[in-house]
């Protein structure tokens, strides 16, 4: 048994090292500085518009021309501050810049950074939005964000429920999913959907199955206490985060697809196509997880182990196998959350760490150890984070959500769907 665990740990570390050490030079080669954008007039793409890029001293670096979709892209020679100019003479007759003073944008670029440069055309259709309309739009955006958070929170809650481990390294699985997908999408050129599937499989295998079999499983069998394991998870989180920094670099980058998209008017709210697809994927996956927990044999076994591991083992349930399945599924969910977060925002070495407290807030608010509680808590936290910016500065939105978490737990310590425990 001990030999098998050692072999599993060695295989996990070897696969992890091979994947990222092989990816490192490829990422370095394919991660240059890029400026890109979309030129539209009245929601219609404008083809043939010329964009020039110059250094601050006036030296021309490169030019780009919009394609049939209005998209353009220019690769830059290195980190610096550049001036991106839309050549107004290249615009079709009757089409003008909304603000002629913004024909030239000055943008700084760090190493490997990808940025968008936008040049609005035509008459301004800006309208004054009431606070109520803004709150509705923010609630919709928060619902989308909450579903992404729920991907990671449900897995974390299931792991806690079956093992009792508070895993601070769970957020790094979010990052792992985003980075592996970036490697296959941008560096190897796979379509984002296919790259995402590969990223989920890799993360489920390395960050889920092999991590538990080679690392956490042996610690459990040796009787390592939960406090010690929690401290170990903190160290593992720090190690993984700076390993990602070494391999990926400190800049934020974008996937090669689905970046600049116009919003679709849905009546009370507007949303980009990628946001609607993200919501649909999240809802379908979370419904599938709920169905699996309630209706399948492995789901019922998972709930039995979470309720009483000793009783579950005595009734013939293979507790270690159930825990391994939970780890694998939890890592896959975290990876999917990282991919959707990368599509909605950007990919970076600390994208998971930046939402770690929000994930814990969703799990705690919903009730520790309950998957449905983690889902509900994440949506509540996500909606409140966004809606709170109606009355507080955006820089304080996370703090406001955590303050509400404290107030709710003062009234209901077990969380929204948690069970009250008898003490004494």
All structural domains of the chain with their residue ranges: 34-110, 131-411
What pLDDT sits at residue 328? 97
What pLDDT sits at residue 424? 44
What pLDDT sits at residue 26? 46
Which parts of the chain sit beneath pLDDT 50? 26, 28-30, 423-424
What pLDDT sits at residue 3? 58
34-110 CATH, one of 1.10.3470.10, 2.60.40.10, 2.30.250.10, 3.30.70.2660? 2.60.40.10
What pLDDT sits at residue 362? 92
Three-class SS string for the chain? CHHHHHHHHHHHHHHHHHHHHHHHHHHHHHCCCEEEEECEECCEECCCCEEEEEECCCCEEEEEECCCCCEEEEECCCCEEEEEEECHHHCCCCCCECCHHHCEEEEEECCCCEEECCCCECCCCCCCCCHHHHHHHHHHHHHHHHHHHHHHHHHHHHHHHHHCCCCCCHHHHHHHHHHHHHHHHHHCCCCHHHHHHHHHHHHHHHHHHHHHHHHHHHHHHCCCCHHHHHHHHHHHHHHHHHHHHHHHCCCCECCCCCCCCCCEECCCCEECHHHHHHHHHHHHHHHHHHHHHHHCHHHHHHHHHHHCHHHHHHCCCCHHHHHHHHHHHHHHHHHHHHHHHHHHCCECCCCCHHHHHHHHHHHHHHCCCCHHHHHHHHHHHHHHHHHHHHCCCHHHHHHHHHHHHHHHHHHCCCCCCCCCCCCC
Fold of 131-411: ABC transporter involved in vitamin B12 uptake, BtuC (1.10.3470)
């Amino acid at each position: 048994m001990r030999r098998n665990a050692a072999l599993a740990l060695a295989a996990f570390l070897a696969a992890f090292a091979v994947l990222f050490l092989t990816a490192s030079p490829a990422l370095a080669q394919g991660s240059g500085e890029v400026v890109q954008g979309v030129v539209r007039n009245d929601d219609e793409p404008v083809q043939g518009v010329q964009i020039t890029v110059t250094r601050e001293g006036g030296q021309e670096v490169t030019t780009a021309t919009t394609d049939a979709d209005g998209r353009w892209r220019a690769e830059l020679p290195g980190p610096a501050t550049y001036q991106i100019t839309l050549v107004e003479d290249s615009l079709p007759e009757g089409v003008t810049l909304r603000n002629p003073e913004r024909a030239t944008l000055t943008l700084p670029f760090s190493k490997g950074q990808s940025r968008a440069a936008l040049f609005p055309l035509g008459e301004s259709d800006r309208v004054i939005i009431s606070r109520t309309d803004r709150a509705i739009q923010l609630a919709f955006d928060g619902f989308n964000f909450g579903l992404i958070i729920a991907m990671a929170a449900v897995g974390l809650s299931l792991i806690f429920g079956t093992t009792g481990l508070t895993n601070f390294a769970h957020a790094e699985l979010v990052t792992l999913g985003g980075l592996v997908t970036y490697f296959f999408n941008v560096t190897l050129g796979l379509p984002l959907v296919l790259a995402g599937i590969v990223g989920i499989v890799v993360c489920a295998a390395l960050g889920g199955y092999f991590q538990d079999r080679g690392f956490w499983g042996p610690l459990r069998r040796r009787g390592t206490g939960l406090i010690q394991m929690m401290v170990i998870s903190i160290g593992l989180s720090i190690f993984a985060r700076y390993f990602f920094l070494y391999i990926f670099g400190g800049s934020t980058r974008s996937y090669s697809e689905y970046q600049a998209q116009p919003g679709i008017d849905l009546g009370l709210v507007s949303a980009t196509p990628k946001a609607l697809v993200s919501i649909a994927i999240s809802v379908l996956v979370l419904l599938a997880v709920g169905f699996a927990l309630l209706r399948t044999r492995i789901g019922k076994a998972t709930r039995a182990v979470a309720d009483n591991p000793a009783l579950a083992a005595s009734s013939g349930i293979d507790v270690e196998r159930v825990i391994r399945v939970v780890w694998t599924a939890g890592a896959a969910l975290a990876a999917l959350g990282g991919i959707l977060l990368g599509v909605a925002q950007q990919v970076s070495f600390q994208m998971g760490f930046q939402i770690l407290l929000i994930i814990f807030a969703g799990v705690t608010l919903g009730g520790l150890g309950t998957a449905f509680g983690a889902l509900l808590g994440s949506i509540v936290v996500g909606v409140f984070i966004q809606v709170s910016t109606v009355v507080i500065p955006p820089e304080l939105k996370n703090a406001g959500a955590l303050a509400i978490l404290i107030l709710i737990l003062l009234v209901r310590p077990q969380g929204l769907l948690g069970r009250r425990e008898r003490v004494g």
